Amino acid sequence: MKTILNKVGLILLAVMLTVNVTSCASVQNANNKQKGGVIGAAAGGILGAIIGNNVGKGGNGELGAVIGGVIGGGAGVLIGNKMDKQAQQIENEIPGATVERVDDGIVVTFDENSGVYFNTAKYNINAASQETLNKLVAVFQEYPDTNVLVVGHTDSVGSEASNLTLSKNRAEAVTNYFLGKGLSAGRFTTNWYGETQPTHDNATAEGRAKNRRVNIAILPNEKMIEDAKTEAGQ
């Protein structure tokens, strides 16, 4: 598991930041539950890590429903502790996924090599993907005080317009699958960016497979934040 920490403070909904990436071992030695008290009031890290710098291209513009500032002080320590445990559980349950800790949240990336994938030009959740998503459903049920952002992406095969629609359909298919398992709709926000946010080279089959992905961000909701502040005396 990777831990990504802000190096500079950003205002709410800022979409790019410089980040440090460290190994899973460093999570155990210097993780967010320890850093939470000193990070301060920064925001936008999860947004930048998921979708890059193209807010406004596609999607429903409701990122503010789930993106918030980093919580400092003792409350940040308590929240970081809970999110560290949740991230580790996801990594243990779904070893193929990429699990990253970003600020007070968690980013999970699924591509065609990590358990949730789609047939070409399709957006239905197949049996193999259902098995993986069911594991994530169990984690969401165990940690109810979180909000979830689902973001869809595609490779560059096909037109930009069709890929935008395809990424929308895939992201909504994942969100709807979660809702069909009884998770509250109020916890979820869905967004989509088509082919505009590649993380790998679309000139190769391997790169395209990695770009056909769904990102899931998990963030503390207001109840978790308020409970942590109360417990910390903030």
pLDDT at 7: 27
Residue count of the chain? 234
Number of Cβ atoms within 10 Å of the Cβ of 189: 22
pLDDT at 27 over 70: no
Amino acid symbol at 149: L
Please work out, in degrees rounded to the nearest 5, the angle formed at the alpha carbon of residue 208 by the alpha carbons of 203 and 212: 155
Asked if residues 49 and 102 have their Cβ atoms less than 8 Å apart, the reply is yes
Within 8 A by CB and 6+ apart from 66, the residues are: 147, 148, 149, 189, 217, 219
Cα torsion angle, 34, 36, 39, 40, sign:
negative
More confident residue, 32 or 185: 185
pLDDT at 84: 93
d(C-alpha 198, C-alpha 175), whole Å: 21
Asked if residues 101 and 205 have their Cβ atoms less than 8 Å apart, the reply is no
What domains, with CATH codes, occur in the chain?
A: 2-232 (3.30.1330.60)
pLDDT at 161 over 90: yes
CA atoms within 13 A on the CB side of 38: 7
Within 8 A by CB and 6+ apart from 63, the residues are: 13, 47, 55, 149, 189, 191
pTM of the model: 0.73
Stretch 169-177: mean pLDDT, rounded? Answer: 95
pLDDT band at residue 1, thresholds of 50, 70 and 90?
Answer: low
Mean pLDDT across the chain, nearest whole number?
73
**Any bridge partners for residue 220, and if so which?**
146
pLDDT at 19 over 70: no
d(C-alpha 214, C-alpha 174), whole Å: 8
pLDDT at 48: 54
pLDDT at 50: 55
Q: Which of 17-21, 107-111, 198-202 has the lowest mean pLDDT?
A: 17-21
In the chain the beta strands, taken as DSSP E runs, fall at 2-6, 19-22, 98-102, 105-110, 146-152, 188-192, 214-220
